[in-house]
Amino acid sequence: MAEVDILSVKQRFGIIGNSEAMNRALGVALSVAPTDLSVLVTGESGVGEEYFPQIIHAYSARKHAKYIAVNCGAIPEGTIDSELFGHEKGAFTGATEARKGYFEEADGGTIFLDEVGELPISTQVRLLRVLQSGEFIRVGSARVQKTNVRVVAATNNDLLRAIDNGRFREDLYYRLNTVPIVVPPLRERREDIPLLFRKFATDVAVQYHMPAVQLDDNARAMLQNYYWRGNIRQLKNVAEQISALEKSRVITADVLAGYLSPHESSAPTMRAAATMGGDDFSTERELLYKILFDMRSDINDLKRMVGELMQAAGRMPQQSSDVVGLLPSPIISPAPATDYAESEEVVELPHKELTKADVQREQILRALKNNNGRRRDAAKELFLSERTLYRRMKDLGIGDDDI
């Protein structure tokens, strides 16, 4: 594909940068656009993968038909089939009339399935049938219908690992992955980072009628060497914060450092690895780390409470290590007697070893309580999609009464 075409695409869709990796991804998108082949766009969260299905549709023979984007991770599992394939009147409680699904609405056009790795297995079977034969059945119907839809899917999960874990169908993966497009993370487009920062800073300046911030050489180098686990979304957030909060319009490395987490300067954190990997093992490991940090805070509170109780009983430990020593020991319950030393009652509690499920359940409940039961906010705190959180709550037996 000629470079002039890539340049025109960048101008049309507002894509900034000249890195070889991004140009290669755009070239693949333009080459496959005139065909009807299925495309799978992969990349970390925040890299801008949503532009590629739009580009493919805009440069295809379907460009005058409908383009529908669907976030598979945001639709509850109980309604995903109805949303995608439609339903008949009376098919389920609340189905007061028949309605078309996205595949029926997009007939002749393109449908973009974002977060396709979050689809339940039963829906994956239906999707595979559409890709193979163009056939689907509405929920509550027995009539087979046809649709002519071009499917572009995207994911930031490792679908091959999901296949190994039994969470994604291998035959569906190869149907979707007819043409793969890998969108590079921001750290692999270092030469584009200053350009993107300048674009975001200029947008803020124009919107709020202020001079645009500029980076000095050291700040620019720091920006390019940063890891950017949140990719373009994180860079935009930093540019907007600096533009709004800093009085000086020239940003030094010292100022910039205040907006960047030092833990992400050169390598991903455990949390980032869980987000990028998308597999159960990484997510469970992250949950374990989070609950260990939370337990540290709980232990400090417990130490302080034990100290206050001991002081009130007239038996304050001599040093903090005495309190620490009390924590794993049997719980001491004072009996109502005048001589505390002679009347203390030792209660032996059976030791219960926490399982991995116990740890996950505790962390999910904590996140739900922190967010007043709002599952969407709890999922963000745990760095999970809503669908994954719902699935884990179901597997762990967490209901509304537990929150």
Instruction: Please write the tens of the pLDDT for every residue from 42-60.
Output: 999 999 999 999 999 999 9
Model confidence at 402, pLDDT cuts 50, 70, 90, reads confident
Strand (E) positions, 184-329? Answer: 214-215, 250-251
> Lowest-confidence range among 78-87, 292-301, 387-396?
292-301
Instruction: Evaluate if residue 400 carries a pLDDT over 80.
Output: no
What CATH number is associated with residue 213?
Answer: 1.10.8.60
**Rounded to whole angstroms, how far apart are CA atoms 96 and 90?**
6
What CATH number is associated with residue 125?
Answer: 3.40.50.300
Strands 67-71 and 39-42: unpaired
Domain of 193, in residue numbers: 189-264
Region 2-27: mean pLDDT is 88
> Lowest-confidence range among 129-138, 194-203, 328-337, 361-370?
328-337
> Which phi and psi (to 5°) does residue 227 adopt?
-75, -40
Region 95-114: mean pLDDT is 95
Output the CA torsion sign for 138, 144, 145, 150. positive
Question: Is-above-0.85 flag for pTM?
Answer: no
Among 184, 200, 232, the domain boundary falls at 184
CB 45 within 8 A of CB 158: no
In percent, how much of the chain has pLDDT > 70? 75
Instruction: Please write the tens of the pLDDT for every residue from 163-190.
Output: 999 999 999 999 999 999 999 999 999 9
Residues 67, 146: one domain?
yes
Residue 322 lies in a domain: no
Encode 112-143 in three state secondary structure.
Answer: EEECHHHCCHHHHHHHHHHHHHCEEECECCCC
Residues 100, 203: one domain?
no
Instruction: Evaluate if residue 329 carries a pLDDT over 70.
Output: no
Query: If you average pLDDT over every residue of the chain, what do you get?
Result: 82
Q: Token pair of 363, please?
A: 């962390």
Instruction: Please write the tens of the pLDDT for every residue from 117-139.
Output: 999 999 999 999 999 999 999 99
CB 260 within 8 A of CB 30: no
Within 33-169, where are the H helices? 51-58, 80-85, 102-105, 121-133, 159-164
Residue 310 lies in a domain: yes
Strand (E) positions, 214-352? Answer: 214-215, 250-251, 331-334, 344-347
Residues 243, 312: one domain?
no
Q: Token pair of 213, please?
A: 């911030």
- With b for 16 or more beta-carbon neighbours within 10 A and e for fewer, the 3-36 pattern comes to eeebeebbeeeebbbebeebbebbbbbbebbeee
Task: Provide the 10 A C-beta neighbour count for residue 139.
Answer: 19
- Number of helices and strands (H, E) in the chain? 19, 11
Residue 344 lies in a domain: no
Instruction: Evaluate if residue 364 carries a pLDDT over 80.
Output: yes
**Rounded to whole angstroms, how far apart are CA atoms 242 and 248?**
10
Region 289-294: mean pLDDT is 53
Residues 20, 48: one domain?
yes
Residue 231 lies in a domain: yes
Instruction: Please write the tens of the pLDDT for every residue from 214-261.
Output: 999 999 999 999 999 999 999 999 999 999 999 999 999 999 999 998
- The domain total for the chain is 3
Name which of 179, 125, 118, 119 is nearest 152 in CA terms.
Answer: 179
Residues 180, 193: one domain?
no
Residue 399 lies in a domain: yes
**Residue type for 17, please?**
G
Residue 347 lies in a domain: no
